[in-house]
Structure 1
Amino acid sequence: MTSEDRPSEIDKLFEEDKAKLCEYNLNDAVLVSEIFSKTGLIDLLVKRSQISGLLLDQLGMMSAAFDHFYLPKIHRAELVAPNVNDVIISEHAAGGYVVEPIPGIYHDVIVLDFKSLYPSIIQSFKIDPVSRLFSHIGTITTPEGYKFSASLHFLPGFINELMKKRIEASKVGDVHLSQAIKILMNSFYGVMGSNGCRFYHPHLPTAITGTGKWLLLQSKDYLHKQGYEVIYGDTDSLFVKLKEGEGDDAKTNGERIASELNDYWKKRLKDEFSVTSFLELEFEKYYSRFVLTPLRGGEQGAKKRYAGLLKINGQEELEFVGMEFVRSDWTKLAKEFQVQLYMKVFNDEDVRDWIRNVVNKVNRGGYDDKLVYRKRLRKEIDEYQKSGPPHVRAARMINKTSGTVEYVITKRGPVPIELTHGDLDYQHYIEKQLKPIADSVLGLLGESFDSIIKSPQLDFFD
């Protein structure tokens, strides 16, 4: 039975064939159990429960996990914890910092990643609720001017313990324990800045994100002085263009650069802040070709949006981040067009004739089976406004009230695929599906989609 027919089919089986309904329910339970077994989901949840002190059905309550660890420490230190109802939210911390992307098509780009950046900042600068309270004792000052105690703190030591457990888990191949520890450690930053945490104070998360921003920018400056160009950065990662010839042994050079940066930070944090650096940069990946696209209609780089040709064990693999290929609401035509276009660009092929041929084939109906949009109804159909987005209008035509709507754009507007749709609006697909994808990279080549398809050599719009 299909997902849409399931409720009515179950009701029918209950009335007419209870044995078959039992068989269906049993098979359903077996399938779910097999999914849990294959993914290791239950083991992961159990490991998270064990290290956080939360019951399985409470694992999303990270403030409670923080209390589970922190309250006993507070009480043993003869301190009184605040009541969560007395917390007054004064400001929200900024998110992770993004280094402005420099649009372009590049050769030989590596990604350097700060391993567990926020937990390691907490360790290095002793960022902690009690440490902030006693910041006048053995004062440590962060790059942004926030003060903490070098000797009175609990959270940095707990993270040290978790880090050791994670290393041990990795050594014995316990991936679920390792992941559970990672989830818990990464929650501390957000918890200390949330209104559900009794230890909330705006300086705690702001000190962490402010230090993270400083580390990215100062790392960028260091690399620039070494002759490297940082073309992008996001929260805990730096995208670095290698020097001429270094791409031939990208892994070795990437690991060398990461090691040099780690040494730099150990010395600088000791000299300037009198703290031990727990920061660890590591070489993450290498792109033989890489593209950062500009914002649509502008020259500024688009954040969290790039593509690259990865080298993994000698094999090439195209990776998209934040682009149409990874989004579910773009057509198959658009996704395939994007993959082929970027592969051609990365291989330095001329794309003009190829683009004209794709447009010609669209107009001739050669891609009709790839023009279907798929979008889910996220609320009851009656909750949408009368006009509504295209998938809602299509759903109303067949009285569909839930699930995923499959539809095409015709000259009459959106039409569900269940109804006749012989008057497809090819111009819509060319303008809304092909053109945005093409122009995001063609501008970097001094070309545009319109100039290519309106070339006097061919005119497919007559």
Structure 2
Amino acid sequence: MSSPEQLQLILEPQSKVYFDPIIVLDFQSLYPSMVIAYNYCYSTILGKLAYLNDMKNPENYEEIVLGAMKYQVNKDDLVNQVAYKNIHVSPLASVFVKKSTREGVLPLLLREILACRIMVKNAMKRTTSKKRKRILDARQLALKLVANVSYGYTAANWSVADAILGKGRETLERAIEMVQKGDYSGAEVIYGDTDSLFVLVKNANLEKAFEIGRKIAEDVTNSNPDPVVLKLEKVYLGCVLETKKRYAGWMFEHEKDQGKLDAKGIETVRRDTCPIVADVLEKSLELIFAQKWQEFGKYLNRIVDLMNSGNMRIGKFVFCKEYRGGYSNKAMVPQKKIAEKRVEKCRFNAVLSGERIPYVIVDGPPGSTVYSCVRSLREFATNPKLRINLQYYLQSHILAALRRVTDLLPTEIKLLPLASKQCFNLDCTRIGQTPWCIKCDKNGDELVGAMVQLSRHQKARAKIRRTCQSCQSCSSNLAEKQIEECANFSCLLKQTWSMMNRAEMEKVVENHKLY
């Protein structure tokens, strides 16, 4: 069996932050459409063009190998098909008969699946029941997935698979060429990926971008056989292209939409990062696309102050990465460390491959590695002396994610040294032996502020005890010891309680000289 010869088209993006509209167009069910439009199937293929040329010399002509089968093509039948133009040659020189001669099994199957999906989607529009609409939506999505994976099944025969892939690539390349050469107000293709293309329209507003997008979609659709359809999917009014398959934009699906953030491949949609990174990046992108530069700077400063104050829930700092198993003994993988500790405590508590392991990174002694600072949620929650390593989260994750965007802008983000851990006053950079520095220890206003915060903490702790009644069968308030022993680390109240204990507000007030 021959080896695969074709790959999907992925253009190298022009990495930049764009503020002009970007039109995103997408071919609907590209590969199933190629199968139907050009009758690609294992039941309609005649083999490679090179094999058929050997028929001129019968002594050199051998059986054609197609997958696990061998067969011969009748010379007279082939001549008749060529004479009546009933054959189609794929971009990689595989020969297929047209539908007029024989309709393939795959095209017939996919045509019925897609027709059924359209019928289900029409039923969705007519129904008024939310429950039934969800059921129908799940069914149409299932039909879509079945249609798309049919291409994967044909990979058992690379000749058919390459024909589908090659024709899809050729269709996308032809669409890109039409946009570049067409009269579309200077539209420029800045990125293309498999079945979609991103078109930049400079100096245009949202309405103009939608108008141009619809014209491009109509022209490309008319230039292709049925059922190949190019659809205007959305318009980005503000977009950042980082690398292949990593982008985000402020998305509009219609002219009257309010717009929302849409992202692919970056930290806002990835599951292997912590929530604080996703939240900060999402809000930052929103401000950048709106070109609110002063608000962007103030927002980052507020986040740093909030993190440094210790008033942020532990859940915001939790990584939840997949345990893959099969790690070597020398592998320095956080998931592996947590999994080994679980087994040490109980051999029946083994981690399964594919399971996601939550953990946090805490402060360690000078020179310690990140791996040595990995702690499970239970370890962190039960040890009030542990502190989140804010410097690591800021430098290695939050700023790293932001700089992948801001490096494409004429701006720079710098992180000033965090405030002293010894002084309670975040605006003070002096260092002392107690929670207060020498200056703040004599300032009555600082003591009053700390006492106000202590009062707030006490009220919040009382509220948590009252609220936690819902987690137990009896109606009496939970004692503090019971809350400490609570094992529900996904509970927001438990996370808040744990972080409040680390604030040590009683110690801060008691250690002030004027108290």
Using structure 1 for the length normalisation, give the TM-score.
Answer: 0.66
* Matches of 1:461 and 1:159, distance apart in 2: 71
Q: Specify whether residues 460 and 446 from structure 1 end up closer, same or farther in structure 2 by C-alpha distance, changes over 3 A only.
A: farther
1:218 maps onto 2:174 in alignment? yes
Q: Specify whether residues 246 and 148 from structure 1 end up closer, same or farther in structure 2 by C-alpha distance, changes over 3 A only.
A: farther
What does 1:67-106 correspond to in 2, within 5 Å? 88=1, 90-92=2-4, 94-106=6-18
SS in 1 for 2:151: helix
1:408-428 Cα offsets, whole Å, 9 max, x none, are: 212331112322252432221
SS in 2 for 1:129: coil
| Count of aligned pairs | 345
Identify the residue that residue 480 of structure 2 maps to in structure 1: none
Q: Specify whether residues 440 and 259 from structure 1 end up closer, same or farther in structure 2 by C-alpha distance, changes over 3 A only.
A: same
| Equivalent pair of 1:231/1:239 in contact (CA under 8 Å) | yes
Identify the residue that residue 194 of structure 2 maps to in structure 1: 235
1:355 maps onto 2:304 in alignment? no
Superposed displacement of residue 279, structure 1: 1.3
* Matches of 1:169 and 1:327, distance apart in 2: 31
| Equivalent pair of 2:23/2:200 in contact (CA under 8 Å) | yes
One-letter code of the match for 1:234? D
1:443 maps onto 2:391 in alignment? no
* Matches of 1:368 and 1:228, distance apart in 2: 47
Superposed displacement of residue 142, structure 1: 2.5
What does 1:37-436 correspond to in 2, within 5 Å? 88=1, 90-92=2-4, 94-106=6-18, 107-133=20-46, 136=78, 137=81, 138-150=86-98, 151-154=101-104, 155-173=106-124, 174-175=136-137, 178-194=140-156, 200=157, 202-226=158-182, 227-263=186-222, 265-266=223-224, 276-293=225-242, 302-312=243-253, 314-350=257-293, 351-367=296-312, 369=314, 370-379=316-325, 385=329, 387-397=331-341, 399=345, 401-402=350-351, 404-412=356-364, 413-419=373-379, 420=383, 422-436=386-400
Superposed displacement of residue 388, structure 1: 4.1
Superposed displacement of residue 238, structure 1: 1.2
SS in 2 for 1:445: coil
* Matches of 1:165 and 1:374, distance apart in 2: 39
Q: Which runs of 5+ in 1 are unaligned?
A: 1-87, 195-199, 267-275, 294-301
SS in 1 for 2:375: strand
Structure with the greater alpha carbon radius of gyration: 2
| Equivalent pair of 1:93/1:193 in contact (CA under 8 Å) | no
Q: Specify whether residues 157 and 393 from structure 1 end up closer, same or farther in structure 2 by C-alpha distance, changes over 3 A only.
A: closer
Q: Specify whether residues 128 and 404 from structure 1 end up closer, same or farther in structure 2 by C-alpha distance, changes over 3 A only.
A: closer
| Equivalent pair of 2:92/2:162 in contact (CA under 8 Å) | no
| Equivalent pair of 1:251/1:286 in contact (CA under 8 Å) | yes
Q: Specify whether residues 461 and 410 from structure 1 end up closer, same or farther in structure 2 by C-alpha distance, changes over 3 A only.
A: farther
1:95-128 Cα offsets, whole Å, 9 max, x none, are: 5321221111223122111111111112222212
Superposed displacement of residue 437, structure 1: 0.7
* Matches of 1:387 and 1:140, distance apart in 2: 53
SS in 1 for 2:44: helix
One-letter code of the match for 2:107? P
Q: Specify whether residues 336 and 171 from structure 1 end up closer, same or farther in structure 2 by C-alpha distance, changes over 3 A only.
A: closer
Superposed displacement of residue 323, structure 1: 1.0
* Matches of 1:284 and 1:461, distance apart in 2: 55
One-letter code of the match for 1:152? R
Q: Specify whether residues 460 and 426 from structure 1 end up closer, same or farther in structure 2 by C-alpha distance, changes over 3 A only.
A: farther
Q: Which runs of 5+ in 2 are unaligned?
A: 50-77, 125-135, 365-372, 419-426, 432-515
SS in 1 for 2:237: strand
Using structure 2 for the length normalisation, give the TM-score.
Answer: 0.60
SS in 2 for 1:244: coil
Q: CA RMSD in A?
A: 3.1
| Equivalent pair of 2:360/2:376 in contact (CA under 8 Å) | yes
| Equivalent pair of 1:246/1:253 in contact (CA under 8 Å) | no
* Matches of 1:311 and 1:459, distance apart in 2: 45
Superposed displacement of residue 147, structure 1: 2.1
* Matches of 2:204 and 2:41, distance apart in 1: 45
Q: Specify whether residues 172 and 424 from structure 1 end up closer, same or farther in structure 2 by C-alpha distance, changes over 3 A only.
A: closer
Superposed displacement of residue 441, structure 1: 0.5
One-letter code of the match for 1:310? M
Superposed displacement of residue 288, structure 1: 1.8
Q: Specify whether residues 94 and 360 from structure 1 end up closer, same or farther in structure 2 by C-alpha distance, changes over 3 A only.
A: farther
1:188-235 Cα offsets, whole Å, 9 max, x none, are: 2211113xxxxx2x1111111111112212211211123211122221
* Matches of 1:379 and 1:414, distance apart in 2: 18
* Matches of 2:300 and 2:429, distance apart in 1: 12
One-letter code of the match for 1:222? M
| Equivalent pair of 1:113/1:281 in contact (CA under 8 Å) | yes
SS in 1 for 2:175: helix
| Equivalent pair of 1:408/1:414 in contact (CA under 8 Å) | yes
* Percent identity (aligned): 26
1:158-192 Cα offsets, whole Å, 9 max, x none, are: 43344433333333335455444433322222111
Superposed displacement of residue 361, structure 1: 4.2
Name the stretch that deviates more: 92-101 or 202-211: 92-101
One-letter code of the match for 2:181? K
| Equivalent pair of 2:338/2:376 in contact (CA under 8 Å) | yes
Q: Specify whether residues 365 and 172 from structure 1 end up closer, same or farther in structure 2 by C-alpha distance, changes over 3 A only.
A: closer
SS in 1 for 2:45: helix
One-letter code of the match for 2:362? T
Identify the residue that residue 269 of structure 1 maps to in structure 2: none
Superposed displacement of residue 343, structure 1: 1.0
One-letter code of the match for 1:207? A
Q: Specify whether residues 176 and 318 from structure 1 end up closer, same or farther in structure 2 by C-alpha distance, changes over 3 A only.
A: closer
